[in-house]
Structure 1
Amino acid sequence: MKKLFMYFFIFILIPSSVYSWCSAPSPPYYKPSKPSVPWCVNEWNNTHTCDEWEISSYNNSIRNYNYEVERYIMDLQNYVDSARNYANCEINSLN
């Protein structure tokens, strides 16, 4: 019983920085890819021979791409924040 109390008090008295665990963040694994322009669009002359559904489909693809880019930017910002926290944790563990 005395050993149990002794271990407990040693555990309590040891600084918490000894127990800290700094976990390195991992970067976002998915980067969105831009949709390709439909074959019926002539980018040189800024004209097209596309049907309405092709244009609509391309616009939806662009809209989805924009949402994915926004999500990727948020993931990158979270990664930067986590990296900053990780660096501070490592610095604090040295003190």
Structure 2
Amino acid sequence: MIRPAGFSFACAALRIASPATVRTPATTSITAFRHLPPALDTDRVEALNEAIPAAVQRCGYAFLTGTRLSGVAALRACILHPGTTKDDLTVLLDEIRAAAREVTT
């Protein structure tokens, strides 16, 4: 399996740069994770993770989908283009954080 150079960075960045939990191991070009702001209860975290993909897509700078894993909402990023850079992935993470702020205010 050939993955874009930034894929491992994306998985590591999710663990470090945002309050997130990686839900699937980085064995393919797809990674699933949950955005987990510390101040939200379980129900609000669930609603947030359901709302983030649409909010990210509305902005038009990044693409993110949602899925359900083990019965909970998760965010899903698929990184296929071999030219994907760390800067591209930083934009994705920034857009996720901005979307989270948008849907929680």
More helix by share: 1
TM-score after normalising by structure 2: 0.26
- Higher RCO, Cα 8 Å, sep 6+: 1
